[in-house]
Every structure is written in C-alpha cells, then in structure tokens.
Amino acid sequence: MLSRKLENLRSRPELLIGGSVAAEIALVLHGWSSGAAMTELVLFHGIVSVFIIAGSLPWLRRSDSSAGMALYVVSLVALGPIGVVGCAVMELVRWISSRSSISFEEWYERLFPRALADRAQALYELIEWRGAKPSRESTVAPFCDVLDQGSVVQKQSVVTLIADHFKPEFSPALQRALNDPEPAIRVQAATAVARIENHFLQRSVVLQEERARDPGNPSIMRRIALHHESYAQTGLLDSERAASERTIALDINMKLLRASPRDPELVATVARLLLELDRPGLAMRLLMPWLRAKSIPHPLVAPMADALYSLKRLSLLRRVSARLLSSLTASAEDEPIRASLGLWTPAHG
C-alpha cells in the first residue's frame, strides 16, 4: 500500500509541487507569527528542500519530464519562498501568453499563406501574359510600387509570389522587402531569401550526384554551369560570391568549348561570362574569328556588340552594326538589341 502511494506521488508531480508550496507558506507564516530565528527557518527550509529533491528525482529522470519542473525545484531550493513566487508569476505569464500564441508551424505557414496561392498564381500568369511591358488596360502594379505604397497584406502577397515564382527580375523588389519598415515583411522576405537559396543548394546537390554517376556527360556539365550562372544572376549574392559563381560557370564552359570550339551557343555563353567578369579583351579575342565570318550567328550578336562597346572600339561597332542587325530575328526578344544597334547604323549618322 505504501509503495503504491509513493508510485502515485511520483506519477503526479502536482502533488509534490502543492505540498512544497504549502510547506514554504507554513514556514513563512511560522517565522512571521512566532519570530523564529533565521537559523531555524533555514534548517526547516533545508529539510523541505531535501524532500523536494528526493521526490522529484524519479520524475525528472523520465524522458517526458518538463523543464519547468526542474526550474521549479532549483528555484525553491535556492530562493525558498521567493523562488516559489517567481515560478508562480512565470507560470501565470506563460499561461496568459499561450492563449494567444501560435505554433512554429502555424507561424511559418502564415509567412506564405496558402489561402493567397490562387490569387498569387493569377497575378503571376497575368504578369507573364503582359510580358512585363506596360499596358494601359492592365491593373497590375509593379512589385516595388506595392511594397512602397501597399498594405501589409498586399506586401505579404507580393513576397509570397516572389518566393514561389522567383526570377532574377524580382530581385530588386525582394531587396526592397528586406528593408521594409514593417518587421513582419522583413522577416517574410528573409525567409523567402532562405527558401530561394535552399532551392539552389538542393538543385546543386542533385546535379553533383548526376555528375558523379556520369562524369563525362556534356549535357550534365552544361546544366551545372547554367545553374551556377543562374545563381549569380539572382541578385541575392554579394559581388564576390556572384563573381565566384560566374567563374565556376566559366571554367566548366571553357572545358566544354575545347571539345566543341565551333559551337556558337557555347562561344556566346563564354563571351557573356567574360564580359560579366569584366574581361572584355578576352571576350573579343574569342569572338574575333566569328566577326571575320560571312555571317554572324544569332547567339553571338549581343556579346559581340557588348564587347566592342566595352573596349570603346566604336568605329568597328559602327561598321559591323548592319551585319549584326541582319543576324537578328523579328521576335520581341530581339527588340532591345535591335534598337541599340540601330543607333550605330550609318542611317543614324
């Protein structure tokens, strides 16, 4: 019977807590009413502490024990009645805050609410349909304008959209969200950046595993190089990290170019990376044989014009601008470079 009562006491720590609180209250009342000496009170407190420690040890050894119980025991032994009062206040504050608090999973879910997924997808499709060009009929506001003038809910929708469908073009808006005066938007933007970087990291691991299985596959090598180049173009990296990613992509593409020196796509990629790394001389040296050819392949038009302009070889750029223009198509994708080269044709003086 006695062992069963002890087992019940060990399985119900509230009895131990209640008993210790009652003992400390009785100790305070005894000292207050009888004017007992401090030595006597300390002795009685020591006896209570021994019973508390002995009674709580079996429960504290359990895997499901609460850290609050250990804190209570330490506070009572070290501070006596003051520790009991402190623990009571702490528990009261915890109970009050728990009524309005949310779990970590719910908090993270609120950063990227699923309820806005359909609206965000519709907005994304509308932006894609517009081709990122201004339209009088469109009611879509630029991301940066929403972050400057929108409400908190509107800003959260924009950051959610950017995180779910990230493109390098969205980087300025995301950087602005990171500096937003609203703390909730800054936290959400920082979480979005972490998600985007984690996506690139996971993709890098997958590509490296594919490369380990088939080291000599040029298709895998191209995808790895493109991955590093895309990471550098996100706008989320500092200048040194971005240059490092471009250098890795350049090294891989240079190896591929040695195996396929007449591939205009590879030549254009290497030249573009050299220009981004501020090496226009090397880019022009790579492009010069193609400049002497009868026709210039379409992928080489933009890097060739950029290299000539970066080297201030403006007279040569003026002479070959007509040839470069003839290699372009009538698609909207070529419209920006066509407009730029048009300024250098003889017809424009």
Domain boundaries along the sequence of the chain: 2-101, 103-133+140-191, 283-349
C-alpha distances in angstroms, 243 versus 7, 211, 230, 233?
Answer: 67, 23, 12, 10
pTM of the model: 0.58
Q: 3-state class of 165 per DSSP?
A: coil
Q: 3-state class of 272 per DSSP?
A: helix
Q: What is the pLDDT along the chain (349 residues), one digit of tens a residue?
A: 445 544 554 555 666 666 666 776 676 666 666 666 667 667 676 777 676 666 666 666 665 556 666 666 776 666 667 767 777 777 777 777 776 767 766 776 666 655 444 555 665 555 554 444 444 444 445 788 888 888 888 888 888 888 888 888 888 888 889 999 988 899 999 999 999 999 999 999 999 999 999 988 999 999 999 999 999 988 888 899 999 999 999 999 999 999 998 899 999 999 999 999 999 999 999 999 888 887 888 899 999 999 999 999 988 888 888 888 888 887 777 888 888 888 887 655 4
If you write DSSP's letter for every residue of 186-247 in order, what string do you get?
Answer: HHHHHHHHHHHHHHHHHHHHHHHHHHHHSTT-HHHHHHHHHHHHHHHTTS-S-HHHHHHHHH
193 neighbors 178 (Cβ within 8 angstroms): yes
* 332 DSSP assignment: G
